[in-house]
Amino acid sequence: MSRRATIPNIVVRRLYPSDQEEILSHFRRLDGPSRRARFCGAIKDEGVIRYVANIFSDSSILCGAFIDGHLRGVVELRGVSHFWASTAEAAFTVEAGWQNAGMGDALFDHIIAIARNRRVARIQMSCLKENLPMQHLAMKHNATLEYDCDIVEAVLRPNRPSPSSVAKEIIGEFERFGQIARRYAATHSSAAN
């Protein structure tokens, strides 16, 4: 995978507890620098397993970026009840071989649409000072950055919901049903043979 090429056919959709196994596999595939960037420090497999076991809470929404049906990136939006949360926190992961090719942008666009549709007034993100790609991505989406020692805080203020933000979320749900149908067809066609 060329790091400079844009990935065609990125499918971004909301993730659900039924996706938990894929989410765990994704987090376990993260290399050391990617884990450090996501968690602002080193974390072993045991810590990843504990984290993913509790990744779904009443106040979190997750979306995943899929390439050829495989989960390669995740964005978490925490602090969101179903609608009208004033502030939420976002965190991103993209596997090393898929970074710098548009996946972060796709995840960012999708989670901003979801935040807009829930009237989130402010999205906060934290990253390490050396995580320049994340800072660049945040600025590209009009975030303001504040530097504090080794941590950078990014703040975005999403617009109100629009027909296009609602459509983006609905299309993501249709993608989920499409993936389920393809898995079902593949499972049943291989079982029939």
Residue 57 lies inside a defined structural domain of this protein: yes
Assigned token pair, 131: 């995580």
Q: Domain count for the chain, please give it.
A: 1
Residue 150 lies inside a defined structural domain of this protein: yes
pLDDT tens, residue by residue, 104-140: 999 999 999 999 998 999 999 999 999 999 999 999 9
Please, are residues 100 and 133 in contact by the beta-carbon 8 Å criterion? yes
Q: To 5 degrees, how large is the angle CA 71–CA 155–CA 54?
A: 40
Residue 4 lies inside a defined structural domain of this protein: no
pLDDT tens, residue by residue, 10-43: 899 999 999 999 999 999 999 999 999 999 888 9
Residue 193 lies inside a defined structural domain of this protein: no
Name, of 65-74, 166-175, 179-188, the range with top average pLDDT: 65-74
Please say if the pLDDT value at position 6 is more than 70.
no
Q: Which residues contact 48 (CB under 8 A, 6 or more apart)?
A: 24, 27, 28, 30, 35
Please say if the pLDDT value at position 73 is more than 50.
yes
Q: Give the mean pLDDT of 137-166.
A: 91
- The terminus-to-terminus CA distance of the chain in angstroms comes to 33
Residue 86 lies inside a defined structural domain of this protein: yes
Residue 166 lies inside a defined structural domain of this protein: yes
Nearest to 138 by CA among 147, 126, 130: 126
Q: Which of the four pLDDT bands, split at 50, 70 and 90, describes residue 4?
A: very low
- Alpha carbon distance 171, 183 (integer Å): 19
For residue 75, the enclosing domain spans: 11-187
Q: Which of the four pLDDT bands, split at 50, 70 and 90, describes residue 184?
A: low
CATH number where 29 lies:
3.40.630.30
Pick the more confident residue, 156 or 57.
Answer: 156
Residue 6 lies inside a defined structural domain of this protein: no
**pLDDT recorded at residue 171:** 80
Residue 183 lies inside a defined structural domain of this protein: yes
